[in-house]
Structure formats: structure tokens, C-alpha cells
Amino acid sequence: MTPNEAAGTADLMTKYEASGATAAAPAGSRWQSVVSDVSSDQRVFKGVPWGKPMMWIFLLSDTFIFGSFLVSYMAVRQSTRVPWPNPSEVFGLTVFGHSVPLLLIAIMTFILISSSGTMALAVNYGYRRDRKTTFWLLLATAALGASFVCMQAFEWTKLILEGVRPWGNPWGAAQFGSCFFMITGFHGTHVTIGVIFLSIVAAKVRRGDLDRQRPGFLTGRKGNYEIVEIMGLYWHFVDLVWVFIFAFFYLW
């Protein structure tokens, strides 16, 4: 390399660095926060209570489970040569002589969204250390969740009485039943576990465990209002999954 070329390269380098530094400064500072978080040889998500990333990672794995269910439902529905039953009619209800499409499903959707709303408020009041309001909001969330499960049980009963089975149904493609029971069943299980989880957290809030930092029954960790937010992440996720099920299974 001649001195001239070397000087040229050095010149380019400084130019590159200069332009990189000036152009990327606003965006780069946010990226730099990611880089410094993961490369610091310490805990990764700084300032975040560790229970929260743990719940998020669990929810990430759950995302893949529900994602796999929905993708396999798509594959099964696309590959059958028998017409798919029309969900709008299958899940319709007759009210006062009028048949309303998807009525029960719509009500279930609104109930789950409302429970998400009360959950978000509960997290907020928890951090304000308003024990009473937090307890009642958590209880309302659990009650809405329980009513959702009841409606799902009603829906299952209705369909089973109409002859839907995992291996067949009166209206069309046999795969309809297995997809329906698998997807809504797994989601309903999540809601049920969520209701139990909510009741436990609500009891803890009411008893004042979180204010007095009483050690937990299973983990022995000190009580803390962060558990309300972590519970909230799980509950919102259940609502989130329902958004996708509602769109892909009931409306498609």
C-alpha cells in the first residue's frame, strides 16, 4: 500500500466514522441501550423486576404454542376438499325468533376485553398501594374471566349436543371439530388457570401480604405489588390470544 493510498483509506475511515456518529446519534442511542444491556456481563434488562421478563419469556413460549395451533388449523382448513362449516351460522344464536350470527362469541369478546380493562386498572391502583380498590378490581377481573369460561362451557355443550365431535360434524369438513376443541379448549384452560391465579393474587392483596412484604407460600419471595403487574401480563396475553382466535377461527 502506497502512503498515498493509506492516507486515502484513513481519510475515508474518518469520514465514515464522522458521518456515522452524526447521522446515527438519535437512533443509535436507543440501539446502544440494547447493546449495552446485553453485553454488560450483568443482568440483561436493567431496572426491570426479574419476574417480569420471566413471565414475558413464558408468554413467548405460549405464543409459539398458540401460533402452532393456528397455523395447523390454517393448513388443515386449506387442504380439505370438503367445504368448511360456516362459523357465522354454526355459532349463531336465535334470540326472540331472530337468528343473530356469532352473538355469544361477540359477548365473550367484549367480556374478555372488559376484564383486560379492569386488570390494567388493578395494576395501576396496586402501584398506588390502594389495597381495597386493587382487590375489587382483581375480583371483577376474575368474575369476568369465570363468566367467560361458563359461556365457553355453554358453547361446547351446545355444539356437542348438535353432533360436533373431534372426528366429524353434521355440516362439512371433519377437521372443524378437532380444530375447534383443540384451540378453544387450550385457550379456555388458560382462562381457567388465569382465574385461579387472579383469585390467589386478589387474596394476597386483600390480606395485605404485598404491603407487609410477607414471603410467598411457594416461592418464599417477599410480597410486592410487581406480582400484580406480572399477573396482569398473563391475563392480557389470554385476551391477546382471543383476539387472534376470534379473527381466524370465528370470523374467517
Partner 1 sequence: MEHAQESHAAGQHEHQQHPLGIYFKIWGLLFVLSTASYLVDYFHFEGLLRWSLIVIFMLLKAGLIVSVFMHMLWERLALVYAIVVPPLLLIVLLGIGALEARYTFDTRGTFFAPAATQPAASH
- Does 123 contact partner 1 by CB under 8 A? yes
Single residue of 51, 104, 124, 207 touching partner 1 by CB under 8 A: 124
- Does 239 contact partner 1 by CB under 8 A? yes
Give, for 21, the enclosing helix (H) or strand (E): helix 3-23
Identify which range of 5-13, 60-68, 174-182, 206-214 contacts partner 1 by CB under 8 A.
Answer: 60-68
Give strand pairing partners of 93. 100
The residue count of the chain comes to 252
Identify which range of 138-146, 176-184, 214-222, 227-235 contacts partner 1 by CB under 8 A.
Answer: 227-235
- Does 33 contact partner 1 by CB under 8 A? yes
Identify which range of 100-108, 174-182, 187-195, 198-206 contacts partner 1 by CB under 8 A.
Answer: 100-108
Q: In the complex with partner 1, which residue's Cβ is closer, 13 or 71?
A: 71
Q: Measure the CA–CA gap between 72 and 24, rounded to whole angstroms.
A: 42
Q: In the complex with partner 1, which residue's Cβ is closer, 56 or 156?
A: 56
Residue-by-residue DSSP string for 192-211: HHHHHHHHHHHHHHHHTTTT
What are the cell numbers at 15? 469520514
- Angle made by CA atoms 62, 66, 67, in degrees to the nearest 5: 105
- Does 133 contact partner 1 by CB under 8 A? no
